[in-house]
Structure 1
Amino acid sequence: MTTAQYKVDLSIYSGPLDLLLYLIRRNELDILDLPVASITASFNEFLDVLELIDLDLVGDFILMASTLAEIKSRMVLPRAEEEEIAEVIDDPRSDLIQQLLEYKKFKDAANALEEHAAEWQEHYPRLSDERPKSGKDPSEDLIKEVELWDLVSA
């Protein structure tokens, strides 16, 4: 396949954390209990497509993929019992999960602000309480007495 066949809009993913958050939502995963193997596989699939498009954009995504691979390898390696107890306390996924939670918080706040701005775009402010003054006084317009034939002939 050539690069001309691929057309991907990268504006939907502003960075590797955005893509990672999307993959977690798409696969309906718990953000606090990441299955690193499936996320790494999905992330690498996207990375393959991204490399075909533009190598300059790939740097941050490669860093995230390598971080996921490092976490995966730490979780697979055999450990001594003492290390297991310490590892439970210091989960290798904890830093990534913390970053994801912070990113999600900011992204949700940005979306709320964007919705609020869009809502207020439809409102127009009241400029002043003063009404324009007309040239004549409305009490000067007197109603004339009119009969039905006057209306018909008019």
Structure 2
Amino acid sequence: MSDSRYEVRVENIFEGPMDLLVYLIHKNEVDIYDIPIAMITEQYLGYIDWMERMNVDVAGDFLLMAATLTQIKSRMLLPTHEIDGEDPEDPRLEITRPLLEYLRMKSAAEEIALRPVLGEDTFVRPKGAEEIRPDPEGGFIQVSLFELIDAFQRIIENLPGKHAVELDAERFSIQDKIAHIIEVLEEKGSVTFHELFSRDAGKEELIATFLALLEMGRLGLVRIAQHCQNGIIRLFYQ
């Protein structure tokens, strides 16, 4: 039993509101220049509500984006009028423009990260140096917070009986769950996302495990990645 309500803070660690928008656009396979604002707004608010009910601290910029999307959705419902013979500006451009700029900046940052690092890729390897071992984590890409949420929601939905319950992990200690995950990782080195969640566990215990996983990610104790080919999410002990 936990002494008090545990709150997981994800700001500045996991993705921000722009990342959630990009994720929803990719997930729904929609054109960034023709965003179905009503659908995206509804799904965005759904993720915010889910995180809040899970007691995951939602940063203020998420709520600001929610207000912006809601406002754009309202403007889309209003009748439009031509001004001096010109078509009125699409209200969605208020979000499309910063999204495009964000994607450009993110792409540039990723490109810089791939450049050779001085002393690591730049200089010739000394003669007689140890052979480089194959990377056991090769073929994996970083997992977003929202992909983790989707994966966990599928686990909850597949449980027998009603799953539309109040999400509350107060009955279980997040610290104890973190300790348990560390024990598993120390023994195995890595583990799949689904292996963490016992089939015999109740919903509250599963939620506590998920919150423990998020906290470990925030603390840098684990690296969470997804296999490029089979899509399996795996945790690696840092």
Q: Which AA in structure 1 matches 2:82?
A: E
More strand by share: 2
Amino acid at match of 1:36: I
The Cα of 1:42 is off from its aligned counterpart by 1.2
Match for residue 123 of structure 2 among 120, 125, 141: 125
| 1:82 and 2:74 aligned | no
Residues in 1 aligned to 2:47 and 2:66: alpha-carbon distance in whole angstroms: 10
Show structure 2 runs of 5+ residues with no match.
126-238
Paired residue for 2:110?
111
The answer as to 2:92 corresponding to 1:93 is yes
CA distance in 2, matches of 1:96, 1:121: 41
TM-score (norm 1): 0.63
1:14-29 pair list within 5 angstroms: 15-29=16-30
Distance across 1 between alignment mates of 2:96 and 2:109: 20
Contact 1:51 1:58 in 2 (8 A): no
How many Å separate the matches in 2 of 1:29 and 1:98? Answer: 16
8 Å CA contact 2:75, 2:91 repeated in 1: yes
Structure 1 runs not aligned, ≥5 long: 128-154
Aligned partner of residue 82 in structure 1, secondary structure: coil
Once residues 19 and 71 of structure 2 are traced to their aligned partners in structure 1, the CA distance between those partners, rounded to angstroms, is 19
Paired residues, what number?
A: 119
Contact 1:50 1:58 (8 Å CA) reproduced? no
Q: CA deviation at 1:37?
A: 0.9
More helix by share: 1
With over 3 angstroms needed to count, the CA separation of the structure-2 counterparts of 1:63 and 1:121, relative to structure 1, is: farther
Contact 1:47 1:58 (C-alpha < 8 Å) held by counterparts: no
Looking at structure 2, the residues matched to 121 and 98 of structure 1 have their Cα atoms a distance apart, in angstroms, of: 39
Distance 1:25 1:97 in 2: 14
How far apart are the structure 1 equivalents of 2:74 and 2:119?
A: 50
Q: 1:122 to 1:90 in 2, by over 3 A?
A: same
The alpha-carbon deviation at position 7 of structure 1 amounts to 7.4
1:36/1:72 contact within 8 Å kept: yes
Structure 1 residues 26 and 7, CA gap change in structure 2 (3 angstroms): farther
Deviations 1:13-33 (A, max 9, x none): 1x2112111111111111011
**Alpha-carbon shift at residue 34 of structure 1 (Å):** 0.7
> Shift of the alpha carbon at 1:38?
1.0
Shift, 1:117, TM fit: 4.5
- State, as a whole percentage, how many aligned pairs show the same letter: 39
Contact 2:10 2:56 in 1 (8 A): no
Q: CA deviation at 1:124?
A: 5.1
Shift of 1:44: 0.7
Change (3 A) 1:108 1:66: same
Which residue pairs with 2:52 in the alignment?
51
CA distance in structure 1 between the partners assigned to 2:46 and 2:119 by the alignment: 39
SS at match of 2:29: coil
- Runs of 4+ in structure 1 deviating by more than 2 angstroms, as ranges, are 6-12, 52-55, 115-118, 120-124
